Amino acid sequence: MSVHRIMGLETEYGISAPADPHANPVILSSQVVNAYGITVMPDRPKRLKWDYDVESPLRDARGFDMSRSDADPSQLTDDDYGLANLVLFNGARFYVDHAHPEYSSPEVTNPRDAALWDVAGDRIMEHSAAIASKLTGQLITAYKNNTDGKGVSYGTHENYQVDRATAFTSLVRYLTPFFVTRCVFAGAGRVGRGQEGLFPGFQISQRADFFEAEVGLETTLRRPIINTRDEPHADPSKYRRLHVIIGDANMSQRATYLKMGVTSLVLSMIEDNFLDFDLTLFDPVSAMHQVSHDYNFEKVLGLQSGKTITALEIQHMYIEKALEYVATKGIHDEMTLDVLGHWSRQISALGSNKMSLISEVDWITKLAVLEGYRHRDHSQWDDPRLAAVDIQFSDLRGDKGLARVMQSKGRMETMFTDLEVSNAVKHPPADTRAYFRGMCMRTFTNEIAAASWDSVIFDLDPELPLTRIATVDARKGTKSLTEQFFKPGCSAQDLVSAVESQ
């Protein structure tokens, strides 16, 4: 009944070798992931596998399995053996997905930790690109964004553990208007409109133009506002893992925190059957595009009821319900009230003085810089310098990335100290199964054959079969439950014997 729930973020990064525009991105991606592995985890098992047995990307939440022959090849993500794959000491997965390096954060229990382990991923990505650049002798750069502006998009996906008892139809009904308008506080800004960027101008969201369906299983084409993938990585009778693909990659730490926190709060209200309004949009996909393009908040959206409403009014209605929710349920949780306070303040500011959010909302920071250049240089929206600002905003290098530079100069707010971030790079959260996974990887590196979200597989003896330790419950495997297994003097065999005897 708050912003707390099991959650996590997966980010596909843009990757580039500026001196070699035709470099193969699959190879570049493998190079950066492997470079990190070689340098930071030199003792890791050389062919660490991901335990794919329990993954089923073709299972649809609406209750059927898509047959493999009907699927587009890009959906068969569990067949990509041989690509670089690391399970990190902080419990994250760092690997190659399609033609991008991807960081899948460790599971966390709250939006602040989600944002912290997300920033850790950015540092890991930055560091990997730097090491790979040295090792290959060519500069490799990485970007936390979602499009190349020429027709291609890649994702920043959120995952939320939701009660299985909540009807999927409720999720669709109450999440759609929220997701269609969420970019007003969570968007990262984009120069260019249309999937290929053929139309000059600015828009709030990197991803919006790439969405073409209301509900669906696909993630690489016909992208849906509500994704129905049903791989819970948990007890399927109790939990669903809601997989959200509409979000932009955020450089603002506050934006990541609020994106995750507000969505979690909205999910709580849906789980508790607290929402009763009818905000069903007449055409959610068109509405999503319009909201993104309408960065001066001048347009209205049509509801199926025939009424019209603005994007900010839709967000206001969710905020009013959330205020009622915390009052009615007597919620005093500090983080929940903090998330609600910021969300409410930002939506109000968007309606009256949006540029005042320059230091905390990515698209407004980006717009301020772009408008600054437009005024100073008298440029039009199709000036390549503006597109360069857009791309370089998300460059992960501390000395070259525009957002990173603005953060170091105090022009963009941050939530975490360098020390907190470097701890999150090295250590897992203490309160989920990521702790067990990360500590196994650090402590018993050479004895792990494979790992996944819900298992760690030990190879204790070449003469004997592998031992699979299941980690089905994301709230177990915590520090308080398992830290005794990682003390000096404890062996992997001790751990396995203790777990097997339970």
Partner 1 sequence: MSERESIQRQPQRQDQESDEVGVVTNKAAQTFDVSDLLDEIDTVLEENAEEFVKSFVQKGGQ
Give the interface with partner 1 as residue ranges (CB under 8 A).
Answer: 12, 14-16, 18, 21, 25-26, 74, 97-100, 147-150, 152-155, 157, 219-221, 245, 296, 298, 352-356, 358, 367-369, 371-373, 375-376, 383-385, 387-389, 391-392, 399-400, 402, 405-406, 409-411
CB of 492 to partner 1, least distance (A): 34
CB of 83 to partner 1, least distance (A): 13
DSSP structure string for 259-325? HHHHHHHHHHHHHTT-------BS-HHHHHHHHHH-TT----EEBTTS-EE-HHHHHHHHHHHHHHH
DSSP structure string for 33-90? HHHHHHHH-TTS-TTPEE-GGG--TTEETTTEEPPGGGS-GGG-GGG-TTS-EEE-TT
Nearer to partner 1, 274 or 297 (CB): 297
What letter represents residue 136's amino acid?
Answer: T
| Residues 120/396, Cβ–Cβ less than 8 Å | no
CB of 113 to partner 1, least distance (A): 23
Nearer to partner 1, 319 or 350 (CB): 350
Kindly calculate the radius of gyration of the chain based on its CA atoms and give it in whole angstroms: 22
Distance CA 187, CA 163 (A): 27
Distance CA 92, CA 438 (A): 8
CB of 46 to partner 1, least distance (A): 26
Nearer to partner 1, 380 or 484 (CB): 380
Nearer to partner 1, 121 or 429 (CB): 121
| Residues 89/78, Cβ–Cβ less than 8 Å | no
Strand ranges inside 127-275, DSSP E: 141-143, 156-163, 190-193, 199-203, 211-216, 223-227, 239-244
H/E stretch holding 235: none
- Catalytic residue (one of 43, 51, 79, 97): 97
| Beta pairing class for 448-452 and 49-50 | parallel
CB of 426 to partner 1, least distance (A): 27
H/E stretch holding 335: helix 334-352
CB of 486 to partner 1, least distance (A): 34
Nearer to partner 1, 59 or 442 (CB): 59
CB of 161 to partner 1, least distance (A): 20
3-state secondary structure of 207: coil
What phi, psi does 152 have (nearest 5°)?
A: -110, 140
Nearer to partner 1, 409 or 487 (CB): 409
| Residues 159/230, Cβ–Cβ less than 8 Å | no
Please indicate whether residue 97 is annotated as part of the active site: yes
Nearer to partner 1, 25 or 45 (CB): 25
| Beta pairing class for 467-470 and 14-16 | unpaired
What region, left, alpha or beta, does residue 233 occupy, with left being phi > 0 and alpha being psi -120 to 50 degrees?
left
Distance CA 34, CA 104 (A): 16
Catalytic positions are 97
